[in-house]
Structures are given as C-alpha cells and as structure tokens.
Amino acid sequence: MQSQRRSMEDNELVNRYAAGERDFSGLSLAYSNLNGVCLAGVDLHGTSLYAARLSEAELLMVNLSDANLVGADLQKARLSGACLAHAILTGANLREADLSGRETDLSNSRLDWADLTQANLAEANLTGVKLIGTRLEKANLRGANLAGSDLTGAKLMQADLTGADLTGANLYMADFKQATMPNGRKEG
C-alpha cells in the first residue's frame, strides 16, 4: 500500500514556517515556486519537490534526506549543512549553489545529469553518490569526500579537487581537463 503525500500550497508553507513550524516531512511540494525563500532548519525528509523552483533559496541545515528533487531548480541556493542523503536530484540545476561544509551530507544521493557548474562542495560528504554525466565544471570540491562515488562521464573541467578523497570512485570517461587533482597537480 503506497502512502499518500499531502499537498501544500507555496504560501501556506511560507506562512507556517513564519509561524514557527519546522516539520514539513513527507509532503508534496512538486512544482512549487519557492525562489528566494528562507527555510533554514526545516525538516523536508521524504518530501516531493519534483521540478520545484528554489533558486537563491536559503536552505541552511535543512533535512532533505530521501527527498525527490528531480528537475528542481536550486541555482545559487544556500544548502550548507543540509542533509541530502539518499535524495534524488537527477537533472537538477544546482549551478553556483553552496553545498559546502563538513556537515553537508549528500551520501548515497543521485545527481545523475545534474548541473553543478561552479557549485561549492568544499568538504561535503559525497560518499557513494551517483554523478553519472553530471556537470561539475569549475566546481569547488576541495577536501570533499567522494569515496565510492560514480563519476562516469562527469564533466569536471577546471574543477578544484585539491585534497578530495576519490578512493574507490568510478572515474570512467570523466573529463578532468584543466582540473586541479587531489594531489594539487593540474590536468592538461
């Protein structure tokens, strides 16, 4: 038996957040327009944000574990310290998003075909992440943990991977042209 997700309007979510509510787990917020909103510290565990518009949103310390963010627009969103473990972000736009910090957890999430061009992922936990065909051009991955991740066909041109952990990562057909590798060496 499949559970039904309760739907919520964009303005209702913002009003309830302003009133102090923080638990919005398991809701359906698909196609929501939440550009520029501040939802710091909320629980969106298991929530559907399919094709939601969240560009420039402040989502610091948000729990998005097991959330569906397929095709979501998170361009320039601030997600430092967020938990996105097991989240599905296939085809999401995360250009220039801030996902930096040791507390940021993207472990075992799916970011296939997502756009993380110029995203800041410094020191983030990306263990076991699927990044197949993902755009990571000019991304900051300094000190990121990418152990066991799948970067098949990922585009990492001019990315900075200084000090990143790529132990056991699948790098088949990944493009590291002009990227700075974990040892500090620049690729040709």
Q: How confident is the model at residue 4 (pLDDT cuts 50, 70, 90)?
A: low
DSSP state of 5: P
**Measured between alpha carbons, how far is 147 from 40 in angstroms, rounded to an integer?**
28
Mean pLDDT, the chain, whole residue set: 96
pLDDT band at 1 (very low <50, low <70, confident <90, very high): very low
Is the pTM of the predicted complex or chain greater than 0.75?
yes
Q: What is the mean pLDDT of residues 16-35?
A: 97
Q: What are phi and psi of 28, to 5 degrees?
A: -105, 110
Mean pLDDT value of segment 27-56: 97
- Give kind and range of the element (H or E) at residue 15: helix 10-18
CA max distance for the chain: 54
131: nearest Cα among 96, 94, 100, 160: 94
Residue 3 has pLDDT above 60, yes or no: no
Q: What is the CATH number of domain 1-188?
A: 2.160.20.80
Task: Judge whether residue 169 has pLDDT over 90.
Answer: yes
Answer yes or no: is pLDDT of 90 > 60.
Answer: yes
**Confidence band of 100 (pLDDT split at 50, 70, 90):** very high
Distance of CA 145 to CAs 12, 62, 142, Å?
Answer: 37, 20, 9
Sorted by where each begins, the domain ranges of the chain are: 1-188
The predicted model gives 100-126 an average pLDDT of: 99
Q: Count CB atoms within 10 A of the CB of residue 60.
A: 20
81 Cβ contact partners less than 8 Å away, ≥ 6 residues apart: 60, 61, 101, 103, 104
- Do 106 and 126 form a contact (C-beta atoms < 8 A)? yes
| Residues 41/63, Cβ–Cβ less than 8 Å | no
Instruction: Report how far residue 29's alpha carbon sits from residue 92's, in angstroms, rounded to the nearest whole number.
Output: 15
Confidence band, pLDDT 50/70/90 cuts, at residue 125: very high
